[in-house]
Amino acid sequence: PIIYFVTPTYARSVQMAELTRLGQTLSSVPALHWILVEDASKCNPMVGQLLRRLGIPFTHLASEMPAAYKKLKTPPRGVSNRRAALKWIRKNVKQGVLYFGDDDNSYDLRLFEEIRDTRNISMFPVGLIGDYAVSAPVVHDGKVVGFYDSWPAGRRFAVDMAGFAVNIQLLHQFPNATFIYQAGFEEDSFLQDIVTNADFIEAKAANCTEILVWHTRTVQVPAVILQPPTQTLTDTSISGLL
């Protein structure tokens, strides 16, 4: 099966660094289609150039967060983008495996072969989440029976976006399953829409004992305001440097 790897992304100083690193990870994965969705009104041509340079199958979309949500103290990040990806997949893809991979996480290449045979929904631990430094399904006799997560918040599925994969058949079976615009509850709402039977959940990564993806976060650096150099470099000063 082909893995459809959905990444929401937005413009900030570290964006090209994140996308280059992630893109080069993804170019090592066979049978993968990258759906990169910008939180913007249109696609950035520089991002398009990177996608073409990588030489992997991709779809480049743009879907901006509605203005009303941008004003919130905790805006629902990446929701509009992921919704656009769901729409594109439902229209264009019959089968495969769907995974939501944010642009700043770190992925072990073994993750991809773990999720590739997802029959319904698979789940696995995510490193560097919250106060416990890991968010993981609790497995008993090979079955997911609960969640070890420092932010349960009354969620039925206390998992991170990077901690599950879905067989695309389920998107067609549940055509209304979607992400809600509520920070922190996106995963739970989507999973509640598609999990009719908890037995459907497949524990991956050695019964959820291995970490194959980390919720790393990149420190933002201030955007540099380009100033003309105070001293103009001439041909002589350049050759003088060599």
Write out the DSSP string of 8-67. Answer: EE--STTHHHHHHHHHHHHTTSSSEEEEEEESSSS--HHHHHHHHHHTS-EEEEE-PPPH
Q: Which amino acid is at 115?
A: I
Query: Smallest distance, Å, CB 14 to ligand UGA?
Result: 10
Per-residue binder mask for Mn ion (CB under 5 A), 98-117, x = binder = ----x-x-------------
Three-state DSSP state, 5: strand
Rg of the chain over Cα atoms, rounded to whole angstroms, equals 20
**8 belongs to the binding site for ligand UGA (CB under 6 A):** yes
What is d(CA 178, CA 36) in angstroms, rounded to the nearest whole number?
A: 18
**Which range, of 43-51, 100-108, 138-146, 189-197, touches ligand UGA by CB under 6 A?**
100-108
18 catalytic per annotation: no
9 in a known ligand binding site: yes
- Within 166-205, the residues that bind ligand UGA by CB under 6 A are 183-184, 186
Shortest spacing between CB 74 and ligand UGA, in angstroms? 7
# residues contacting ligand UGA (CB under 6 A): 20
Taking the least distance from each CB to Mn ion, the nearer of 133 and 233 is 133
> Quick one: which of 85, 158, 161, 212 contacts ligand UGA (CB under 6 A)?
161
Helix (H) / strand (E) element for 6: namely strand 3-9
Q: Could you say which of ligand UGA, Mn ion, none residue 149 binds, taking C-beta under 5 to 8 angstroms by partner kind? A: none
Per CB under 5 A, 39 contacts Mn ion: no
Side-by-side strand order, sheet with 121-123: 58-62, 32-38, 3-9, 97-100, 164-167, 121-123, 201-203
Q: Which is nearer to ligand UGA, 143 or 155 (CB)?
A: 155
Applying CB under 6 A, the span of 45-53, 77-85, 205-213, 224-232 interacting with ligand UGA comes to 77-85
For position 160 contacting Mn ion by CB under 5 A, the verdict is no
Query: Per the residue annotation, which of 18, 38, 114, 187 is the catalytic one?
Result: 187
Strand ranges for 97-161 from DSSP E: 97-100, 106-107, 121-123, 126-127, 134-140, 143-148
Question: In sequence order, what are the residues at sequence separation of 6 or more whose Cβ sits closer than 8 angstroms to the Cβ of residue 55?
Answer: 27
Task: Indicate the Cα dihedral angle 145, 149, 152, 156, nearest 10°.
Answer: -30
Write out the catalytic residue numbers: 187
Annotated binding site for UDP-alpha-D-glucuronate: 8-10, 39, 77, 82, 102-104, 215-217
Residues placed in the known binding site: 8-10, 39, 77, 82, 102-104, 215-217
